[in-house]
């Protein structure tokens, strides 16, 4: 790695994906009021893609100011279900409600990533995945949440594709990493292209 890489995220899976790829990011979560930013953008009818991109950039910029010279990666993932934005469920009841609304239909995950250095955006990408959820029963949903709530409470959509969440779907169009929250392939290709990683 050329310049130091800083991950402006508290997301365990994003850090793990980068480490599994052989990178060693410094973890420096950005402390921004995502709900406030999201609500103000929604009030301006900003599309989900722009909301994810704006939040990712804000996280990267905020940390970039504190880490001179470093490449700072900010990320954000939003779920778009027929024009409605879903955020992480705060309670098991909210998770049940969300999954009952998502089942039997299609939704999109938008995973935005922005790289900044010294307060300037250098690269950005929004990965998009279409996910088709099975029309599973309430009985399965309750059992699923009993088994998985403590894990999936930190995930947009209340599922982790690498865990039991995969059983919720009958089709997924897009790449696995974008579901997990990071356009990893595009990110690594860019870092290699600019000589920040070998490849
Ligand atoms: N392990 C796993 N995590 C997932 C999956 N789908 C979504 N997630 C996680 C990735 C992110 O940590 C989280 C998306 O929420 P955000 O983009 O707001 O990130 P988060 O609040 O976790 O951290 P950050 O805002 O970046 O500090 O959901 C999945 O299939 N597997």
Kindly give the number of the ligand 1 atom that is closest to the alpha carbon of 52: 17
Kindly give the number of the ligand 1 atom that is closest to the alpha carbon of 74: 26
Alpha-carbon distance 107 to 112, whole Å?
Answer: 16
For residue 131, give the 3-state DSSP assignment: strand
User: What is the average per-residue pLDDT within 52-63?
Assistant: 98
- The total number of structural domains that make up the chain: 1
Share of the chain above pLDDT 70, in %: 99
What values do phi and psi take at 6, rounded to 5? -115, 130
Q: Could you tell me if residue 199 is inside a domain? A: no
Residue 90 Cα, ligand 1 centroid: separation in angstroms?
A: 14
pLDDT tens track for 83-140: 999 999 999 999 999 999 999 999 999 999 999 999 999 999 999 999 999 999 999 9
Alpha-carbon distance 123 to 137, whole Å?
Answer: 43
Could you tell me the pTM of the whole model? Answer: 0.97
Q: Which residue has the tokens 């999109």?
A: 108
Q: Could you tell me if residue 46 is inside a domain? A: yes
Can 90 be counted among the known catalytic residues?
A: no
CA distances from 71 to 134, 149, 179 (A): 40, 34, 23
pLDDT value for 1:
65
- Interior CA angle at 146 toward 133 and 162, to 5°? 50
Residue 179 Cα, ligand 1 centroid: separation in angstroms?
A: 9
What values do phi and psi take at 108, rounded to 5? -115, 145
Identify which of 156, 169, 174, 184 to mutate to test ligand 1's pocket (most ligand atoms within 8 A of the CB).
156
Burial class of residue 10 in the structure, from the number of CB atoms within 10 Å of its CB (0-12 exposed, 13-18 middle, 19+ buried): middle
- Which residues contact residue 57 at a Cβ distance below 8 angstroms, ignoring those fewer than 6 apart? 74, 114, 116, 121, 124
Residue 95 Cα, ligand 1 centroid: separation in angstroms?
A: 15
Q: Could you tell me if residue 21 is inside a domain? A: yes
For residue 62, the domain's CATH number is 3.90.950.10
pLDDT value for 39:
96
Q: Could you tell me if residue 22 is inside a domain? A: yes
Q: Could you tell me if residue 180 is inside a domain? A: yes
Res. 2 pLDDT band, cuts 50 70 90: confident
Residue 8 Cα, ligand 1 centroid: separation in angstroms?
A: 13
Give the domain extent around 78: 5-193
User: What is the average per-residue pLDDT within 15-41?
Assistant: 97
Q: Could you tell me if residue 32 is inside a domain? A: yes
pLDDT value for 48:
95
Q: Which of 53, 65, 76, 90 is catalytic?
A: 76
List pocket residues of ligand 1, CB cut-off 6 Å: 9-11, 13, 29, 75-77, 154-157, 160-162, 165, 179-181
Alpha-carbon distance 100 to 169, whole Å?
Answer: 13
8 Å CB contact between 154 and 85: no
The chain-wide mean pLDDT, for the chain, equals 97
Q: Could you tell me if residue 113 is inside a domain? A: yes
Q: Could you tell me if residue 19 is inside a domain? A: yes
User: What is the average per-residue pLDDT within 176-186?
Assistant: 98
């Amino acid at each position: 790695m050329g310049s130091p890489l800083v991950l402006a995220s508290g997301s365990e899976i994003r850090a793990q994906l980068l480490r599994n790829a052989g990178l060693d990011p410094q973890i420096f979560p950005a402390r921004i009021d995502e709900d406030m930013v999201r609500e103000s953008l929604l009030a301006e009818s900003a599309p989900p893609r722009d909301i994810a991109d704006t939040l990712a950039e804000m996280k990267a910029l905020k940390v970039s100011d504190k880490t001179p010279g470093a490449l700072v990666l900010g990320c954000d993932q939003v779920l778009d279900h027929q024009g409605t934005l879903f955020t992480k469920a705060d309670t098991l009841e909210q998770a049940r409600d969300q999954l009952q609304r998502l089942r039997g239909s299609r939704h999109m995950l938008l995973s935005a990533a922005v790289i900044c250095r010294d307060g300037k955006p250098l690269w950005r990408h929004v990965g998009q995945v279409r996910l088709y959820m099975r029309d599973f029963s309430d009985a399965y949903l309750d059992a699923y949440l009993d088994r998985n709530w403590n894990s999936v409470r930190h995930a947009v959509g209340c599922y982790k594709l690498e865990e039991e969440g995969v059983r919720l779907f009958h089709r997924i169009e897009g790449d696995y990493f974008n579901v997990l929250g990071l356009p990893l392939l595009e990110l690594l290709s860019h870092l290699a292209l600019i000589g920040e990683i070998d490849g």
